[in-house]
């Protein structure tokens, strides 16, 4: 399949490009490099440098190429920022996505794979979280993703768009060859911050809350390897042939892992201590979030290759060791 990967220079998009190549597909990247990294690109893969909000650019690209599928990873994803700057989030995550979908429909491209989030569920009423839970996001980031999910349903019904939506839990890890990995600016995620604290390149980790109703008092999350996420997306291609197909999958390993367990895994793999202090809870952090991914396993034949936190953290550790400044010059 010829696949347009929107946001193909970002964290998950760049890993997906590699997995597409490994599976024999032909990825083409569209990225505006606001958050994407040129060094995360695969040189043999064709690049269009443009924004998905630029209808004229999209028109030129879709005229020049005949894509079978569009995969969309180009969202802004900072929950806190979405609360203080919702205009930016609705503009990019919703309005620009609409421009992308409009270009697809105009050019007769009707297969779409969308990167969504478990944040569309808000504070879930049960664990593990399957696809049938009510969706009630508690911040604009989650709301923008849910808005796109709802747009897709209407487009499937009205225009015969076929789509697969993947709601990720905590994407983590790096490519096994250590050439690409997680590099956000600013970085807010637990695993990179804890690794940097161990390496001495960041201040001691703040553990947000130790009074949650969890076995060790710290938050539990479901960390899932970025290559496993990518493989699930690609496995959905075969299911999109019938016009109007609507697929929704929650993706995680299904194992709740606490902040202290993540720290322990990093200490085991690195042989270093993670300097850390307990700090107050971070606003909006639910005590536990973990997935029931049995639907993806059943329908897509997907099973995560990286099943343990140790195996996920090991790839992240090797990435940060080999790229102490991320994609910036070493």
Binding site for ligand UDP (CB under 6 A): 170, 188-190, 193, 205-208, 219, 221, 259, 282, 285
Query: What six digits make up the tokens of 14?
Result: 């760049």
Shortest Cβ distance from residue 263 to ligand UDP (Å)? 9
Helices 140-159 and 97-106 cross at an angle (nearest 10°) of 20
Cβ atoms within 10 Å of 281's Cβ, excluding its own: 13
Shortest Cβ distance from residue 112 to ligand UDP (Å)? 24
Query: Known catalytic residues?
Result: 141
- Pick the closer one to ligand UDP by CB: 58 or 251: 251
What's the start-to-end Cα distance of the chain, in Å?
A: 36
Please report where in the chains the tokens 């421009």 appear, as a residue.
Answer: 99
Helix (H) / strand (E) containing 71: strand 69-72
C-beta nearest to ligand UDP: residue: 219
- Pick the closer one to ligand UDP by CB: 108 or 213: 213
Burial of 75 (0-12, 13-18, 19+ CB in 10 A): buried
Please report where in the chains the tokens 């099973």 appear, as a residue.
Answer: 303
- Pick the closer one to ligand UDP by CB: 280 or 301: 280
Residue closest to 256 by CA, chosen among 233, 301, 305, 289 = 289
Beta strands in 147-192 (DSSP E): 162-168, 170-172
- Pick the closer one to ligand UDP by CB: 4 or 229: 229
Helix (H) / strand (E) containing 316: helix 309-322
Residue closest to 103 by CA, chosen among 73, 58, 48 = 58
- Pick the closer one to ligand UDP by CB: 117 or 175: 117
Shortest Cβ distance from residue 190 to ligand UDP (Å)? 4
User: How far is Cα 128 from Cα 264, in angstroms, rounded to an integer?
Assistant: 23
User: How far is Cα 266 from Cα 313, in angstroms, rounded to an integer?
Assistant: 6
Omega prior to 284 cis, within 30 of 0:
no
Contact 271, 153 (CB under 8 A): no
- Compute the CA torsion angle 35, 6, 303, 224 (nearest 10 deg): 10
- Pick the closer one to ligand UDP by CB: 107 or 184: 184
Query: What six digits make up the tokens of 27?
Result: 């990825």
- Pick the closer one to ligand UDP by CB: 90 or 208: 208
- DSSP single-letter state for residue 237: G
Please report where in the chains the tokens 């109703």 appear, as a residue.
Answer: 213
């Amino acid at each position: 399949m010829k696949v347009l990967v929107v946001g193909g220079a970002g964290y998950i998009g760049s890993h997906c490009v590699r997995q597409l190549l490994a599976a024999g597909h032909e990825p083409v990247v569209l990225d505006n490099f606001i958050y994407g990294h040129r060094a995360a690109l695969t040189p043999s893969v064709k690049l269009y440098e443009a924004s998905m909000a630029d209808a004229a650019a999209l028109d030129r690209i879709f005229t020049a190429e005949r894509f079978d599928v569009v995969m969309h990873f180009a969202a802004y994803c900072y929950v806190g920022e979405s609360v203080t700057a919702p205009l930016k989030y609705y503009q990019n995550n919703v309005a620009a996505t609409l421009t992308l979908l409009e270009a697809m429909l105009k050019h007769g491209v009707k297969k779409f794979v969308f990167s969504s989030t478990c944040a569309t569920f808000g504070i879930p009423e049960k664990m593990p979280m399957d696809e049938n839970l009510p969706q009630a996001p508690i911040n604009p980031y989650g709301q923008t993703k849910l808005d796109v999910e709802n747009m897709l349903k209407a487009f499937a019904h009205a225009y015969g768009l076929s789509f697969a939506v993947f709601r990720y839990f905590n994407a983590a890890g790096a490519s096994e060859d250590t050439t690409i990995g997680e590099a956000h600016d600013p970085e807010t995620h637990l695993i990179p911050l804890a690794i940097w604290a161990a390496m001495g390149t960041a201040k001691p980790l703040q553990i947000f809350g130790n009074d949650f109703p969890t076995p060790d008092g710290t938050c539990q999350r479901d960390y899932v390897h970025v290559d496993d996420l990518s493989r699930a997306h690609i496995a959905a291609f075969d299911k999109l042939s019938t016009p109007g197909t609507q697929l929704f999958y929650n993706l995680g390993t299904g194992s709740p892992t606490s902040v202290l367990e993540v720290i322990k895994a990093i200490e085991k793999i690195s042989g270093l201590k993670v300097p850390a202090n307990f700090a107050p809870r971070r606003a909006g952090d639910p005590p536990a979030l973990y997935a029931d991914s049995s639907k993806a396993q059943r329908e897509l034949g997907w099973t995560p290759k990286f099943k343990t936190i140790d195996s996920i953290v090991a790839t992240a550790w090797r990435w940060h060791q080999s790229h102490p400044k991320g994609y910036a010059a070493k």
